[in-house]
Amino acid sequence: MPELPEVETVRRGLLPVLEGQRISKAEVNRPDLRWPLPERMSERLTGRVVTALRRRSKYILADLDSDETLIVHLGMSGRMLISGIQIGEFHYDHPAPAKHDHVVIHTEAGGRVTFNDARRFGAMDLAPTATVDQHKLLSGIGPEPLGNSFNEAYLIERLRGRNTPIKSALLDQRIVAGLGNIYVCEVLHRAGISPLRKAGRIGSERVATLVPLIREVLSEAIESGGSSLRDYRQADGELGYFQHAFRVYDREGAPCVTENCAGQVRRVVQSGRSSFYCATCQR
């Protein structure tokens, strides 16, 4: 499932097509994705101007001049593909309609955004902009890891006394927004902390080192366009490249890249998810 860097990359790709543009037509080709789509979705989108395009955790939020916000989650295989616009030297022509094009948004400027989702694990909803943070999909989500409210003092306090493994704690969206399996594995390797270690047994100084490392890994991944594994593509259809910089994720049996470490990358399963780490240098 796309994590914060992938969703942020898609948001940035959508900006020149959607932000500040008026929707001339919204095609809704089925009544549901993972859940039912909002009532009169086509009518509520058509004619509206997208005043801002934001991200909250793993969700894209399109604020409309109707004081509603379109909430989008990509799910396992959802793609938002742009066409009909010129970006730099490249013009993205409209593709032929595809089988799993479930929602298609046309703008007055000629741009098009197509939400294609073969597995239909994605989701869309409309909610009042003023209270969108209270929506059931967004309420209870912790601070954004790239924002000021996520800091060393906050993380130390939230992890104090927790008996859950640090890997599980960092995946808890109530503690920090948007982190997923890939980037938590990468962060913990850079920090030299085992994903198996109990969160509450890690000293405050070591917990504090996680904050800048989380920001570092996420920023690097965003600049690389995310990590392309299985279904993920950017909004222009291109692949992300951060997977080529993985230190541990999906590298079971490979030598550890930490300087002067003779260990190998191991894989263990935690709560149904694969954790990759080096038992030699991650303690």
Catalytic: which of 34, 120, 215, 273? 273
Is 220 an annotated catalytic residue? Answer: no
Is 198 an annotated catalytic residue? Answer: no
Catalytic: which of 55, 58, 190, 247? 58
Is 3 an annotated catalytic residue? Answer: yes
Catalytic: which of 3, 6, 68, 186? 3
Is 95 an annotated catalytic residue? Answer: no
Complete DSSP assignment for the chain? ---HHHHHHHHHHHHHHHTTPBEEEEEE-SSBSSSBPPTTHHHHHTT-BEEEEEEETTEEEEEETTSEEEEEE-TTT-EEEEESEEETTEEEPPPPP-TTEEEEEEETTS-EEEEE-SS---EEEEEEGGGGGGSTTTTT----TTSTTS-HHHHHHHHTT--SBHHHHHH-TTTSSS--HHHHHHHHHHHT--TTSBGGGS-HHHHHHHHHHHHHHHHHHHHTT----TT---TTSPPP-GGGG-SSTT-TTSBP-STT---BEEEEEETTEEEEEETTT--
Catalytic: which of 2, 5, 143, 195? 2
The catalytic site residues sit at 2-3, 58, 273
